[in-house]
Amino acid sequence: MSAIAKKVQEQQFEQQQQQSQQTVVIRKAKISIGEVVLLCAIAIMITFACVKIVSNQAAIYETNKEIQQVEATIEEQGKLNDDLKVQVDELSRYERIWDIAAKMGLGLDDNNVKVVQN
C-alpha cells in the first residue's frame, strides 16, 4: 500500500498546487487616482516655483545692470562737474579779471572805493 499511498499523496499535493496556482491574487495599480492627481499638482507647483525663481533672477539681473549704468553715468557727470569747477576757478582768478577790466578801459579809482563791514 505504500505505492498506492504515495500516488494518493502525490495526487493530493498536485491538486493543492493547482488550487494555489488558481488562487493568484490580481493586484491593482500601486498608485491610486488620488495619488496621481496629488503628484501632478505637486509637479505643477514645483514647476511654477522654478519659473518664478528664474524670472525673479532675470529681473534682478536687469535691475543690477541698470544700477551699474546709472552709477557709471553719475561718475562721468561727477568728473565733468570737477572739470568745470577747475575751469571756473581758472577763469575767476583776480589777475585775469583785472586784465580784462583794464582792456575794457576800466580802472580802479581809490576815491570811488568804499569799505563795507558787517
Is the torsion defined by CA of 71, 73, 76, 81 positive or negative? negative
pTM, 2 dp: 0.51
- 27-61 burial, b for 16+ CB within 10 Å, e for fewer? eeeeeeeeeeeeeeeeeeeeeeeeeeeeeeeeeee
38 three-class SS:
helix
* Grid cell listed for 86: 577747475
Q: Determine the distance from the C-alpha atom of residue 48 to the mean position of all C-alpha atoms in its chain, rounded to a whole number.
A: 15
* pLDDT digit string (tens) for the chain, length 118 residues: 577 777 777 777 777 766 655 555 677 668 888 999 999 999 999 999 999 999 999 999 999 999 999 999 999 999 999 999 999 999 988 889 888 888 998 877 767 767 777 6
Listing DSSP states for 1-27 in one string gives -HHHHHHHHHHHHHHHHHHHHHTPPPP
